[in-house]
Amino acid sequence: MGFKILIMTDMEGVAGILDHDNWCQPPERGYPGRYYDLGRELLTREVNAAIEGFCRAGAEEILVVDGHGAGGIHPLLLDRRAQLLRGWSAGWPSALDKSFDAVAWVGQHAKAGSVGAHLAHTQWFSYLDQSINGISIGEFGELALCAAELGVPAIFGSGDEAFCKEAQALVPGIITVAVKKGTQTKPGDELDTKAYMRHNLGAIHLHPEVARAAIRDRAEAALALLRESPESFQMPKLAPPYERVTVFRPDEPGQPRQIDRALHPSSIIGVLNMPFHPHPIEK
């Protein structure tokens, strides 16, 4: 039997992507978006490298989920062996269910406040931090915890170096590829949303073709390892009830931070899908 794999994708963790406003957003959204099409190509070719690696190791069915708000995958450039989910309407865990044998990430950035990251944020640059039962998580962790609840192993991830460290800390054994390394050395917790957007723009990148070759080879190795010794991919273990705590930066300097708490008696997926009702933190 061949393997069925879901690849979650994002843009900010791709080699060659310089910033958010020019490379990750289209002009229609009010951003300059000068290199958005090139950004989509850079992401899609990294995704294709992962698809090639997974297919070499026996993947039979691959669903690529475009997890970037404005869309990051160029449909015409995507490897025709994969199908593409566009549009984010189903909530967590998007299209992931127990029928998948593994989940992987390409182009993923680190969570908000990560040191040495590139374009780090969680959902939006307004998040200071989000945690589940006291474990700080980013966008990787949100899906990885859902996958663990469903019993689907997280086997591979590519993005910036800080993302790779974050993934390995939450899911020991996951195989990662760092395609760039952020040059910023401070978390920037004191910054408001607008200032934080410009906090970590510097990075040293691999050449995109070098990054793709590494992604292809390590994705192949990850799926081969899943076949040979699935126990090498661990799953984060949390016990219910599940509390999500999210702290938001002020939009403008001088405003207070906001906090939201949500509690679910039995499900991580459940708590991640609960609505937000933030209120100011008293000083």
List interacting residues with Zn ion (CB under 5 A): 10, 139
For 6, phi then psi, to 5°, come to -105, 130
Nearer to Zn ion, 67 or 208 (CB): 67
Nearer to Zn ion, 17 or 171 (CB): 17
Nearer to Zn ion, 35 or 163 (CB): 163
Distance from C-alpha of 11 to C-alpha of 2, rounded to nearest angstrom: 28
Residue nearest to Zn ion (CB): 10
User: CB atoms < 10 A from the CB of 204, how many?
Assistant: 11
Which residue has tokens 């269910």? 97
Task: From residue 95, give the alpha-carbon distance in Å to each of 68, 138, 162, 208.
Answer: 15, 19, 26, 28
Which of 86-102 are b and which e, b meaning 16 or more Cβ less than 10 Å from the residue's Cβ?
Answer: eeeeeebbbebeeebbb
Nearer to Zn ion, 10 or 52 (CB): 10
Minimum CB distance to Zn ion, residue 10 (Å): 4
Minimum CB distance to Zn ion, residue 165 (Å): 17
Minimum CB distance to Zn ion, residue 4 (Å): 24
CB distance 196 to 255 below 8 Å: no
Minimum CB distance to Zn ion, residue 134 (Å): 23
User: CB atoms < 10 A from the CB of 46, how many?
Assistant: 27
Minimum CB distance to Zn ion, residue 109 (Å): 6
Minimum CB distance to Zn ion, residue 11 (Å): 7
User: CB atoms < 10 A from the CB of 3, how many?
Assistant: 19
Nearer to Zn ion, 78 or 119 (CB): 119
Cβ neighbours of residue 37 under 8 Å, at least 6 residues apart?
A: 74
Nearer to Zn ion, 8 or 55 (CB): 8
Minimum CB distance to Zn ion, residue 139 (Å): 5
- 155: DSSP letter: E
Distance from C-alpha of 150 to C-alpha of 232, rounded to nearest angstrom: 18
Task: From residue 161, give the alpha-carbon distance in Å to each of 6, 60, 157, 167, 183.
Answer: 22, 29, 11, 10, 11
Nearer to Zn ion, 10 or 21 (CB): 10
